[in-house]
Structure 1
Amino acid sequence: MAKRLNDNNSLSDVLKHIMESNNLQKGLDKIDVREAWKNLMGNGVNNYTREIMLKNGTLYVELTSAVLREELSYGREKIVKMINEDLGREVVTTVVLR
Protein backbone atom coordinates (compact mmCIF):
# COMPACT_ATOMS: atom_id res chain seq x y z
CA MET A 1 0.00 0.00 0.00
CA ALA A 2 1.39 3.42 -0.92
CA LYS A 3 2.24 5.86 1.82
CA ARG A 4 -0.08 8.83 1.87
CA LEU A 5 1.59 12.21 2.15
CA ASN A 6 -0.22 14.93 4.03
CA ASP A 7 -0.07 18.70 3.55
CA ASN A 8 2.55 19.12 6.28
CA ASN A 9 5.40 17.33 4.50
CA SER A 10 8.38 19.35 3.37
CA LEU A 11 9.35 19.52 -0.28
CA SER A 12 12.51 17.48 0.36
CA ASP A 13 10.41 14.69 1.94
CA VAL A 14 8.06 14.65 -1.03
CA LEU A 15 10.94 14.52 -3.53
CA LYS A 16 12.66 11.76 -1.55
CA HIS A 17 9.43 9.77 -1.58
CA ILE A 18 9.06 10.20 -5.35
CA MET A 19 12.67 9.12 -5.94
CA GLU A 20 12.26 6.02 -3.76
CA SER A 21 8.91 4.97 -5.20
CA ASN A 22 10.11 5.34 -8.81
CA ASN A 23 13.66 3.93 -8.33
CA LEU A 24 15.27 7.11 -9.66
CA GLN A 25 18.34 7.15 -7.39
CA LYS A 26 20.52 4.98 -9.67
CA GLY A 27 20.01 7.34 -12.59
CA LEU A 28 20.75 10.38 -10.46
CA ASP A 29 23.91 8.68 -9.15
CA LYS A 30 25.16 8.23 -12.71
CA ILE A 31 24.73 11.94 -13.41
CA ASP A 32 26.23 12.97 -10.07
CA VAL A 33 29.31 10.79 -10.60
CA ARG A 34 29.94 12.30 -14.04
CA GLU A 35 29.72 15.81 -12.61
CA ALA A 36 31.98 14.89 -9.68
CA TRP A 37 34.61 13.47 -12.06
CA LYS A 38 34.56 16.62 -14.19
CA ASN A 39 34.81 18.91 -11.15
CA LEU A 40 37.49 16.96 -9.31
CA MET A 41 39.78 16.06 -12.21
CA GLY A 42 39.92 19.44 -13.88
CA ASN A 43 40.36 20.44 -17.51
CA GLY A 44 43.65 18.58 -18.02
CA VAL A 45 42.14 15.15 -17.38
CA ASN A 46 38.74 16.03 -18.85
CA ASN A 47 40.33 16.81 -22.21
CA TYR A 48 41.47 13.17 -22.40
CA THR A 49 38.26 11.65 -20.98
CA ARG A 50 36.04 10.10 -23.61
CA GLU A 51 33.34 8.36 -21.56
CA ILE A 52 32.31 8.07 -17.89
CA MET A 53 29.92 5.31 -16.85
CA LEU A 54 28.74 4.04 -13.45
CA LYS A 55 27.52 0.47 -13.29
CA ASN A 56 26.85 -1.46 -10.05
CA GLY A 57 29.19 0.69 -8.00
CA THR A 58 32.04 0.46 -10.51
CA LEU A 59 33.12 3.63 -12.28
CA TYR A 60 34.30 2.97 -15.85
CA VAL A 61 36.36 5.80 -17.35
CA GLU A 62 37.53 5.67 -20.95
CA LEU A 63 40.63 7.77 -21.58
CA THR A 64 42.31 8.65 -24.87
CA SER A 65 45.81 8.86 -23.37
CA ALA A 66 47.66 5.70 -22.29
CA VAL A 67 50.12 7.77 -20.27
CA LEU A 68 47.34 9.46 -18.32
CA ARG A 69 45.58 6.12 -17.80
CA GLU A 70 48.77 4.67 -16.31
CA GLU A 71 49.29 7.72 -14.09
CA LEU A 72 45.71 7.66 -12.77
CA SER A 73 45.86 3.92 -12.12
CA TYR A 74 48.27 4.56 -9.24
CA GLY A 75 45.65 6.67 -7.45
CA ARG A 76 42.48 4.60 -7.91
CA GLU A 77 41.72 4.42 -4.19
CA LYS A 78 42.19 8.16 -3.86
CA ILE A 79 39.83 8.77 -6.81
CA VAL A 80 37.16 6.57 -5.20
CA LYS A 81 37.57 8.39 -1.89
CA MET A 82 37.42 11.86 -3.50
CA ILE A 83 34.29 11.10 -5.53
CA ASN A 84 32.46 9.56 -2.57
CA GLU A 85 33.40 12.53 -0.37
CA ASP A 86 32.14 14.91 -3.04
CA LEU A 87 28.82 13.05 -3.25
CA GLY A 88 28.51 12.72 0.53
CA ARG A 89 27.90 8.95 0.47
CA GLU A 90 29.48 5.80 -0.88
CA VAL A 91 28.41 5.37 -4.49
CA VAL A 92 31.65 4.23 -6.15
CA THR A 93 33.49 1.13 -4.90
CA THR A 94 36.07 0.63 -7.67
CA VAL A 95 37.44 2.49 -10.69
CA VAL A 96 38.25 0.84 -14.02
CA LEU A 97 40.34 2.92 -16.40
CA ARG A 98 40.19 1.95 -20.07
Structure 2
Amino acid sequence: MKSRNASEFSRKADVVPLKEGIQALLKAYRLQGKMNEVYVVSSWERIMGRAVALKTQEVYFRNNKLFVRLTSAPLKHELFMAKTRVAEIINSEVGEDIVQEIVFL
Protein backbone atom coordinates (compact mmCIF):
# COMPACT_ATOMS: atom_id res chain seq x y z
CA MET A 1 0.00 0.00 0.00
CA LYS A 2 1.28 3.45 -0.90
CA SER A 3 1.65 6.05 1.77
CA ARG A 4 0.26 9.46 0.96
CA ASN A 5 2.43 12.47 1.43
CA ALA A 6 1.33 15.99 2.31
CA SER A 7 1.41 17.22 -1.30
CA GLU A 8 -1.49 14.92 -2.24
CA PHE A 9 -3.69 16.64 0.31
CA SER A 10 -2.58 20.18 -0.55
CA ARG A 11 -5.53 20.66 -2.93
CA LYS A 12 -7.76 21.25 0.07
CA ALA A 13 -6.41 24.80 0.22
CA ASP A 14 -8.02 25.40 -3.20
CA VAL A 15 -11.41 24.09 -2.14
CA VAL A 16 -14.14 26.74 -2.04
CA PRO A 17 -17.81 26.39 -1.19
CA LEU A 18 -20.09 25.72 -4.14
CA LYS A 19 -21.97 29.01 -3.66
CA GLU A 20 -18.75 31.03 -3.90
CA GLY A 21 -17.61 29.04 -6.91
CA ILE A 22 -20.86 29.68 -8.77
CA GLN A 23 -20.77 33.39 -7.87
CA ALA A 24 -17.19 33.64 -9.16
CA LEU A 25 -18.20 31.87 -12.37
CA LEU A 26 -21.17 34.20 -12.93
CA LYS A 27 -18.95 37.21 -12.31
CA ALA A 28 -16.20 35.95 -14.63
CA TYR A 29 -18.64 35.39 -17.48
CA ARG A 30 -20.65 38.54 -16.67
CA LEU A 31 -23.87 36.59 -16.17
CA GLN A 32 -24.88 37.90 -12.74
CA GLY A 33 -27.02 40.67 -14.23
CA LYS A 34 -28.97 38.22 -16.38
CA MET A 35 -29.43 35.89 -13.41
CA ASN A 36 -30.84 38.78 -11.39
CA GLU A 37 -33.24 39.66 -14.22
CA VAL A 38 -34.46 36.07 -14.42
CA TYR A 39 -34.86 36.04 -10.63
CA VAL A 40 -37.02 39.20 -10.69
CA VAL A 41 -39.26 37.88 -13.48
CA SER A 42 -39.70 34.47 -11.85
CA SER A 43 -40.32 36.01 -8.40
CA TRP A 44 -42.74 38.72 -9.56
CA GLU A 45 -45.72 37.23 -7.70
CA ARG A 46 -43.76 36.78 -4.46
CA ILE A 47 -42.28 40.30 -4.64
CA MET A 48 -45.43 42.20 -5.66
CA GLY A 49 -48.13 39.98 -4.22
CA ARG A 50 -50.81 37.76 -5.66
CA ALA A 51 -53.29 40.56 -6.42
CA VAL A 52 -50.80 42.35 -8.68
CA ALA A 53 -49.58 39.09 -10.22
CA LEU A 54 -53.13 38.10 -11.21
CA LYS A 55 -53.47 41.31 -13.22
CA THR A 56 -49.98 41.01 -14.73
CA GLN A 57 -49.86 39.71 -18.27
CA GLU A 58 -46.12 39.90 -18.97
CA VAL A 59 -42.88 40.88 -17.18
CA TYR A 60 -39.55 41.24 -19.00
CA PHE A 61 -36.28 43.19 -19.02
CA ARG A 62 -34.67 45.14 -21.82
CA ASN A 63 -31.66 47.47 -21.35
CA ASN A 64 -31.98 47.63 -17.54
CA LYS A 65 -35.63 48.63 -17.88
CA LEU A 66 -38.35 46.47 -16.41
CA PHE A 67 -41.43 46.23 -18.62
CA VAL A 68 -44.68 45.14 -17.00
CA ARG A 69 -47.84 44.57 -19.06
CA LEU A 70 -50.95 44.84 -16.90
CA THR A 71 -54.59 44.02 -17.63
CA SER A 72 -56.02 46.62 -15.23
CA ALA A 73 -55.89 50.34 -16.01
CA PRO A 74 -56.49 51.41 -12.38
CA LEU A 75 -53.67 49.14 -11.19
CA LYS A 76 -51.41 50.47 -13.93
CA HIS A 77 -52.08 54.03 -12.77
CA GLU A 78 -51.52 53.12 -9.11
CA LEU A 79 -48.22 51.37 -9.83
CA PHE A 80 -47.14 54.19 -12.15
CA MET A 81 -47.58 56.66 -9.28
CA ALA A 82 -45.48 54.41 -7.01
CA LYS A 83 -42.90 53.21 -9.53
CA THR A 84 -39.87 54.51 -7.63
CA ARG A 85 -41.06 52.58 -4.58
CA VAL A 86 -41.63 49.46 -6.70
CA ALA A 87 -38.08 49.78 -8.09
CA GLU A 88 -36.72 50.14 -4.54
CA ILE A 89 -38.57 46.99 -3.43
CA ILE A 90 -37.25 44.97 -6.38
CA ASN A 91 -33.68 46.26 -6.01
CA SER A 92 -33.64 45.51 -2.28
CA GLU A 93 -34.94 42.00 -3.00
CA VAL A 94 -32.11 41.36 -5.47
CA GLY A 95 -29.47 43.16 -3.42
CA GLU A 96 -28.25 45.48 -6.16
CA ASP A 97 -29.59 48.22 -8.45
CA ILE A 98 -30.81 46.12 -11.34
CA VAL A 99 -33.94 48.16 -12.18
CA GLN A 100 -33.10 51.60 -13.56
CA GLU A 101 -36.61 52.31 -14.80
CA ILE A 102 -40.02 50.62 -14.86
CA VAL A 103 -42.38 50.90 -17.82
CA PHE A 104 -45.99 49.87 -17.29
CA LEU A 105 -47.74 48.80 -20.48
- Same fold? TM cut 0.5: yes
What is the rounded CA distance, in whole Å, between the counterparts of 1:11 and 1:71 in structure 2? 42
Instruction: Report what 2:7 is aligned to.
Output: none
In the alignment, structure 1 segments of 5+ residues that lack a partner are: 1-5
Q: CA RMSD in A?
A: 1.7
Instruction: Report what 1:44 is aligned to.
Output: 51
Instruction: Report what 1:73 is aligned to.
Output: 80
Q: After TM superposition, which residue ranges in structure 1, 4 or more long, deviate above 2 angstroms?
A: 6-10, 20-24
Aligned residue for 2:51, secondary structure, equals: helix
From 7, 16, 20, give the equivalent of 1:9: 16
1:50-94, Cα deviation, whole Å (9 max, x unpaired): 110112221100011112111111000000001111111111111
Q: Quick one: percent identity of the two aligned structures?
A: 28
State whether structure 2 residue 53 is matched by structure 1 residue 32: no
Query: Shift of the alpha carbon at 1:19?
Result: 1.4
In the alignment, structure 2 segments of 5+ residues that lack a partner are: 1-12
Pairs aligned (count): 93
From 91, 94, 99, give the equivalent of 1:87: 94
More helix by share: 2
Aligned residue for 2:61, secondary structure, equals: strand
Bigger Rg, which one = 2
Instruction: Report what 1:3 is aligned to.
Output: none
